[in-house]
Amino acid sequence: MLLDYETLRVLWWVLLGVLLICFAIIDGVDLGVAILLPLVAGTDTERRALINSMGPVWEGSQVWLVLGGGAAFVVWPALFATAFAGFYVVMFLVLVALILRPFGFRLRNKIEDPRLRSLWDWSLFVGGFVPALIFGVAVGNVLQGVPFHFDELHRPAHEGGFLGLLNPFALTTGLLAVVMLTMHGGVYLALKAEGVLAQRASRIAAGAAIVLVVLFAVAGLWAGFGIDGYRIIEGATPDGPSNPLAKQVEVVPVEWLHNYITRPWALLGSALGLIAPIFAIGLLFLGMEGAAFVASSAAVVGVVAAPGLAMFPFILPSSTQPDHSLTVWDSSSSQSTLLIMLVATSVLMPIVIACTTWAFRVRRGKVNEAEVEKGESSQ
C-alpha cells in the first residue's frame, strides 16, 4: 500500500482530533450563544436577534458531530464500543439536550404566550450548557482513566456508575468547557450583534476568557502533577495487530507532563489555550471582532488539542486494568479500512468545509434588531 499501517493510524488520530476541533469551533458557537441567551438578552427582541445570529446555520454545524461519531465507529471500533458503552447515560443526556434545541428554534416564535416562549428559551440554554459540561466532564475522566476492561471475547465491561464520573477533576474540566464556549459564543455575538447586545456579549466574553486562562492553567497543573499517566512497557507496536490485550502498561506519576517534555512541539496546544484568550480580549476592546473570533477559535484549538497531545498514543486509558487501555496502535480498524476511509474523507471533508463556509458567508453581516422587530428576520 502507499501508506504503511503506522502512518495511517497516526493520520487518523490527527483527523479525529481535527473533526473534534471543528465541532468545538463551529458548533461551539451555537452552544456558546445558547448559554449566553439568559445572560445578555433582556427583551424579546434581543432574544430573537440572538437566536437569529445562529438560527440559520446551527443545523449544518451538527454535521461535524456526525462526522466525528461516524469516523470513530469505522476507524476506531474498539474506542466507539467502549466509550459509548461506558458513557451511555452521559450520551443519552447529551442527545436529550441537543434534541431540545430544535424546539427552541422552531417553536418559540410561533406562539404568543410569553411563558411558553420563556420555556423554549430555557430549552435552548439547556441545549447549550449540558452538552458543553458533559463533553468537558468526559475529557476529565479520560485523562484520569475510565474503569473498564475486556473479557476473553474482547467485549468491554465497565465498573462504577454515572455519579462516579462527577469527580472533582472532571467537574473542573466540565466547567472549563462551559467557560470556553461561553467566551467563544460571546465573541461571535460581538461580531454579529449590534448596540447593547454586542456590548454585553463583549464584556461577558472578556470575563469568560480570563476565567478560561485560570481554569486551563489549574487543570493543566492538576493533570500534570496530580494525576497519574500511563506508559506502554511492552507490546502495542505502531504496525502491530489491533489487539488491546496484547500489551503491558504501567501507571506512572507525572507521565502526562513527561510526554510534553519529550515532545516539546506538543506544548503548542497549551500555549494557544493560555495566550489566545488574552489576544481575544485585547482585540475585542480594539473593536476588531473578526480578529477576536480568530483568536477565540485558536484558543478552542489549544484547549481541545492539549489533552490528546499529552496522552498520545493513549486514547482511552483503563483505570482498573491498565493493560486493557486503548491506544492508537492497538484499537484501529484494518490497514485497508483506514486507507479506504482516508480516501473517502479526503473527498467528503472539503465538501463539508465548503458548504459550512458558504453558509456562514451567506449569513455574514450584523443581525439588525429593527428588522427582527418588524418580523423580517428568519427566526
On whether residue 307 sits in a domain, the answer given is: yes
Least confident of 149-163, 170-184, 241-255, 326-340: 149-163
Q: With 80 as the cut, is the pLDDT of residue 20 above it? A: yes
Distance (Å, whole) CA 152 – CA 161: 23
Cβ neighbours of residue 61 closer than 8 Å, sequence gap 6 or more: 23, 26, 27, 29, 30, 356
Give Dmax (Cα) for the chain: 68
Distance (Å, whole) CA 134 – CA 140: 10
Q: What is the pTM of this model?
A: 0.91
Residue 269, pLDDT score:
86
What is the per-residue pLDDT across 356-373, written as a single tens digit (0 to 9) for each?
A: 888 777 777 777 666 666
Task: Write out the residue range of the structural domain in which residue 247 sits.
Answer: 5-374
On whether residue 111 sits in a domain, the answer given is: yes
On whether residue 77 sits in a domain, the answer given is: yes
On whether residue 105 sits in a domain, the answer given is: yes
3-class DSSP assignment, residue 253: strand
Name residue, grid cell 461571535.
188
On whether residue 69 sits in a domain, the answer given is: yes
On whether residue 379 sits in a domain, the answer given is: no
- Per the structure, the count of domains in the chain is 1
Mean pLDDT of the chain: 87
What is the per-residue pLDDT across 289-338, written as a single tens digit (0 to 9) for each?
A: 999 999 999 999 999 999 999 999 999 999 999 999 999 999 999 999 99
